């Protein structure tokens, strides 16, 4: 993407800031964030691959505001309460942000003449699966978080059908970068790779739910950013998975981190305290690959090395 004016909501957050920094190399970028979960310090003018970018215009604001900077060519809507626990503890506000904030942003974009939106939904609606999950399989909302993201997908369908807008919903699988990137501000809500690497680097035992056999399709943020950009470039419509198609269990992940750091820290196992928990995930990203040619470029071994590098 080149020469566009774009808005990234949640633009100071983890994925949003990586996207904003990346797009600012060749585009005019506005990053909107209320700083509840993000920090403008992430907008450092360098993308995940180390490329220097132009300045990102930061706007301190909420997706619930009445006068959003939506006079752009493309809206990348990433703003959200982004985890099960975060939403359960703030159901009303989280639903307002995740659902009303989505409708408010897309409607203002439409009124300002922007008809291309790429937005974040979630892969957790697939539940626990050790087989690849395709977009057309049956899904359900078991948590308030999942319900809010499914609502986004339905409202996107409405905007597409009623106003002939182009809206691509991306179901991300376990996105990570590490505290050396733009994840540190998320703290307890950061991906487990980032949290466990930081624990081990500080000589502390990472805490694992159950026996550590749960698996995730870990997808590096640089691959996710490329997928988001391609979805806009190709003007995709509908729902697309963004994941590697490979899964690793937490025990293996801990071994990989120890190997990379030259440590031998054993994890601590505790009973899972969460009433709803996705034990296994794996993406089927065939639809995205066939539509755009996207392929993940950062394997998990390389990704763990990148997460651990700042500690070495």
The residues assigned a catalytic role are 145
Run of H or E including 222:
helix 221-233
Tokens of 86: 């975060």
Bridge partner residues of 153 (DSSP): none
Report in angstroms the alpha-carbon separations of 1 from 6, 69, 308: 10, 20, 31
Half-sphere exposure of 153 (CA within 13 A, CB side): 20
Can you state the angle between helices 14-23 and 221-233, rounded to 10 degrees?
Answer: 60
Tokens of 260: 């990379």
Using alpha carbons, select from 26, 10, 117, 109 the residue that is nearest to residue 58: 10
268-284 residues labelled b (16+ CB within 10 A) or e (exposed) = eeeeeeeeeebbbbbbb
CA 225 – CA 245 distance, rounded (Å)? 17
User: CA torsion sign, 46 to 199 to 221 to 4?
Assistant: negative
């Amino acid at each position: 993407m080149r020469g566009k004016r774009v808005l990234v909501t949640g633009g100071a957050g983890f994925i949003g800031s990586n996207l904003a920094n990346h797009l600012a190399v060749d585009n005019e970028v506005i990053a909107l964030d209320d700083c509840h979960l993000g920090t403008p310090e992430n907008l450092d003018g360098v993308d995940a691959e180390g490329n220097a970018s132009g300045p990102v215009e930061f706007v301190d604001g909420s997706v619930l505001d009445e006068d959003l900077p939506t006079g752009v060519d493309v809206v990348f809507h990433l703003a959200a309460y982004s985890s099960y626990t975060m939403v359960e503890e703030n159901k009303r506000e989280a639903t307002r942000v995740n659902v009303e904030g989505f409708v408010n942003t897309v409607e203002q974009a439409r009124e300002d003449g922007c008809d291309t939106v790429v937005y974040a939904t979630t892969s957790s609606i697939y539940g626990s699966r050790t087989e690849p999950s395709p977009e057309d399989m049956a899904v359900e909302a078991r948590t308030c978080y999942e319900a809010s993201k499914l609502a986004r997908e339905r409202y996107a369908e409405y905007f597409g059908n009623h106003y002939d807008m182009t809206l691509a919903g991306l179901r991300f699988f376990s996105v990570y970068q590490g505290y050396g990137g733009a994840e540190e501000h998320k703290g307890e809500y950061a991906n487990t790779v980032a949290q466990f690497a930081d624990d081990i680097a500080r000589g502390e035992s990472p805490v694992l739910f159950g026996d550590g056999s749960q698996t995730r399709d870990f997808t590096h943020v640089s691959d996710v950013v490329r997928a988001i950009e391609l979805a806009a470039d190709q003007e995709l419509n509908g729902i697309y998975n963004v994941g590697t198609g490979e899964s690793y269990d937490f025990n293996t992940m801990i071994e990989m981190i120890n190997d990379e750091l030259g440590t031998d820290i054993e994890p601590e196992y505790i009973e899972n305290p969460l009433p709803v928990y996705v034990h296994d995930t794996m993406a089927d990203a065939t639809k995205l690959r066939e539509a755009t040619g996207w392929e993940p470029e950062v394997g998990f071994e390389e990704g763990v090395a990148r997460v651990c590098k700042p500690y070495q």
